[in-house]
Structure 1
Amino acid sequence: MTLELLVTDKEKLADGVVRLTLRATGGGPLPPWEPGAHIDLVLPGDVVRQYSLCGSPEDTSAYQVAVLREPDGRGGSAYVHDELVAGQRVRVDGPRNHFALADAKRYLFIAGGIGITPILPMLDRATATGREWRLVYGGRTRASMAFTADLARHGDRVTVQPQDEHGLLDLPALLAAADEDTAVYCCGPEPLLAAVEALGPPDLHVERFTPKPDNGARTAFEVELAASGRVLPVPADRSILEVAEEAGITVLSSCREGTCGTCETGVLGGLPDHRDSVLTEEERQESEVMMVCVSRSRSPRLVLDL
């Protein structure tokens, strides 16, 4: 769903972080969402960037996102920081949720930098449902860490650890007590996510807004389109999405790098080679769906629900 929303407020939260408040141009309610959801901002030149919703799901009058300026980024965050102003309209896709808060006896939340954003609504939901939880929030410096004042209301359940004061998070110690009754939710920069994944907590949920490193071999294969029986060759240097589009097949897509989930497509036959940053390990094993913008095939042919 594409919406045209009005930027009604833009405020600085921390060094390099601004928060946008977006409302319907007519002032009506916005589509509902649950903790962990994100929206896509469609910026000039059809630049699409995903940002987690960090306000309250109970407030249907507005969406709120926090945007980190990425000095080595591709221009999206720079546009938001330098050019987007209150009173301007912006196109928004979503909301979508690939980081939903599962029911668990207890939660351990680990956030790095701007990765705090999807976790904020989760804390309120976990509190409201009476679950045990703990948040450990790391960042480069205290001044660069958004929402610390708001987090103070949660008391000693929140630990704020700027790297320049305390060093890197002691992940092995944090995860040592994460048993099968503890859902671990982690969002932040790739080194943090990779380190948590390497430690292998039993119930781990992560979210990425930059693609996982892809060092896998790329070979040619075929895709069969179930609706027509048409077979398309996918060469090693092209994606399924690109081949389908060139053949005149409409496939919804957004990020084109395996992070947003828009191009999720049903798999009816064959064995996908999952290279996205969206699906859980269980979903990868089931292989009922795949992200055709980046994922490939382990079998000579895939049959897709297209």
Structure 2
Amino acid sequence: MPRFTTVALVAGAALLVRRAVRSRMTTAPLWPMPALDEPVSGYGRGSTVPRKVRVASRTTPAEGVVELRLEGRGLPAWQPGAHIDLVLPSGLVRQYSLCGDPADPTAYTVATRLIGAGQGGRGGSREVHEQLHEGVEIEIRGPRNRFPLAEAPAYVFVAGGIGVTPVLPMLRAAEAAGADWRLVYCGRSRATMPYLAEIEALGRAADRVTVVAEDESGHPDLGFLADVPAETLVYCCGPDGLMDAVAAALPTGRTPRLERFSAAATTGGTAFEVELRRSGRTVRVAADQSVLAAVREEVPGLMYSCRQGFCGTCRQRVLEGEVDHRDELLTEAERSDSMLICVSRCAGKRLVLDL
């Protein structure tokens, strides 16, 4: 794989491509973008107000992948990296990255790969594939953005499989802004990699895209990341193994911006006790049990939704004890006195919740 070098501006054809892209832009200026973890109105932490949308179209951008265009009224603006919650017909809530055009105020576009139970799936993707057809109305929440594209002169993007969905709008934005960028796009095979043709066309003028199909060339060589200049931001979304490899390949002290498919494991470690202060009860959380599951044995009506640490429905106030935070939602300030009990655990032997 070629080594990464910073290029100020690509001349000739690449410059013409950039000018053409900028001339077609209808959105407000891309910069400044929101800082990481900055709660910006309209994207940032995002809206929790539910909205009804209709599946306007359904396509198949790759083997095993379904794309949905969801149309609705009053849809909040969003920026690259944002995701929405889909409230599925069964009541399951799942999060999907927006991969359409932020300039389109009438619709959101999401794509999901079918994941079977043997691959760690929990039924959400199958429900999307089997039940969400054209004309179906569903409820959404958001958008939220925990993976915003910050301003930089250059970027390296690494995407694995369906992890390309939040990256695709970033590529378009970086190209339109005239930034230098490079993408390493990995997948099992070319047939399973969504949006491959568009992405290759977007980066063709400056040879920006490296496609690594496992059935053709094995795993990606990420050694070039050791030489990424300090001003270049590195973004990665994909399987945990790929994100860990990207982090390990960067120079000491450098960290990539990551978007994970799911929160950390909810179980593991040791058992502990949770006191429910207002109700005067104490429950024991086993090592193979979530706090949510244990507490709901005493408080059956306790609200929850995603069970993955994304939506915030199960957030509870912590009165005492040290929390092992495993969610993907709360800010550091919010973690000082709150936890999402669907995924987070106790770092000691006892927690006291305001329940």
Same fold by TM-score greater than 0.5: yes
**Which residue does the alignment assign to 1:128?**
176
Matched, 1:271 2:326: no
Q: Secondary structure at the match of 1:46?
A: coil
SS of match in other structure, 2:86:
strand
One-letter amino acid of the counterpart of residue 347, structure 2: R
1:21 aligns with 2:69: yes
1:138 corresponds to = 186
Between structures 1 and 2, the one with greater strand share: 1
Q: Percent identity, aligned pairs only?
A: 47
Q: Does 1:255 align with 2:303?
A: no
Q: Which blocks of at least 5 consecutive residues in structure 1 are unaligned?
A: none
State the Cα deviation string for residues 213-238 of structure 1 (Å, max 9, x = none).
4663132134576xx6x766342235
Q: TM-score, normalised by structure 1?
A: 0.82
Could you list the runs of 5+ residues in structure 2 that have no partner in the other structure?
Answer: 1-48
Show the counterpart of 1:88.
Answer: 136
1:82-231 aligned within 5 A: 82-151=130-199, 152-155=201-204, 156-171=207-222, 173-199=223-249, 202-213=254-265, 216-222=268-274
Change (3 A) 1:87 1:214: closer
Q: Displacement, 1:240?
A: 3.8
- State whether residues 234 and 240 of structure 1, in contact with CA within 8 Å, keep that contact through their aligned partners in structure 2: no
CA contact (8 A) 1:36 1:119 kept: yes
Tell me if the contact between 1:55 and 1:64 (Cα under 8 Å) persists in the aligned partners. Answer: yes
> SS of the counterpart of 2:90?
helix
Residues 283 and 130 of structure 1: CA distance in aligned 2, closer, same or farther (over 3 Å) = farther
More displaced 10-residue stretch of structure 1: 176-185 or 39-48: 176-185
Structure 1: which amino acid aligns with 2:217? H
Check the 8 A contact 1:53/1:65 in 2, yes or no.
Answer: yes
- Corresponding residue of 1:55: 100
**Superposition deviation, residue 82 in structure 1:** 2.8
Bigger radius of gyration = 2
Separation in 2 of the partners of 1:11 and 1:175? Answer: 35
| Structure 1 CA distance for aligned equivalents of residues 149 and 182 of structure 2 | 14
Structure 1 residue 127, shift from structure 2 partner: 2.8
2:100, 2:315 → 1: CA distance?
Answer: 26
Q: 1:166 to 1:259 in 2, by over 3 A?
A: farther
SS at match of 2:215: helix
* Aligned positions, number: 296
CA displacement at 1:79 relative to structure 2? 2.5
Change in CA separation of 1:199 and 1:176 when aligned onto 2, cut-off 3 Å: closer
| Kept after mapping to 2: 8 A contact 1:54/1:66 | yes
- CA offset at residue 305 of structure 1? 7.6
Separation in 2, partners of 1:36, 1:275: 20
Deviation at 1:123, TM superposition (A): 1.5
Does the 8 Å contact 1:224/1:231 carry over to 2? yes
Q: 3-state DSSP class of the match of 2:212?
A: strand
Deviation (angstroms), 1:211: 3.7
How far off is 1:250 after superposition? 8.4
- Taking a change above 3 Å as real, the CA distance of residues 181 and 270 of structure 1, as seen in their structure-2 partners, is farther
In structure 2, distance between residues paired with 1:59 and 1:305: 43
Q: Distance in 2 between matches of 1:192 and 1:198?
A: 10
Separation (CA, whole Å) in 1 of partners of 2:233 and 2:300: 39
Whether 1:31 and 2:76 are equivalent positions in the alignment is: yes
TM-score (norm 2): 0.72
Query: Which stretch has the larger CA shift, 231-240 or 44-53?
Result: 231-240
Q: 1:224 to 1:204 in 2, by over 3 A?
A: farther
Q: Is the 8 A contact 2:75 2:105 kept in 1?
A: yes
Q: Distance in 2 between matches of 1:251 and 1:283?
A: 25
Choose from 288, 297, 300 the match for 2:346.
Answer: 297
CA RMSD, Structure 1 to Structure 2 (Å)? 3.1
Q: Aligned to 1:35, what secondary structure does the other structure show?
A: coil
Q: Is this contact kept in 1: 2:272–2:350, CA < 8 A? A: no
Look up the equivalent residue of 1:88 and give its one-letter code: V
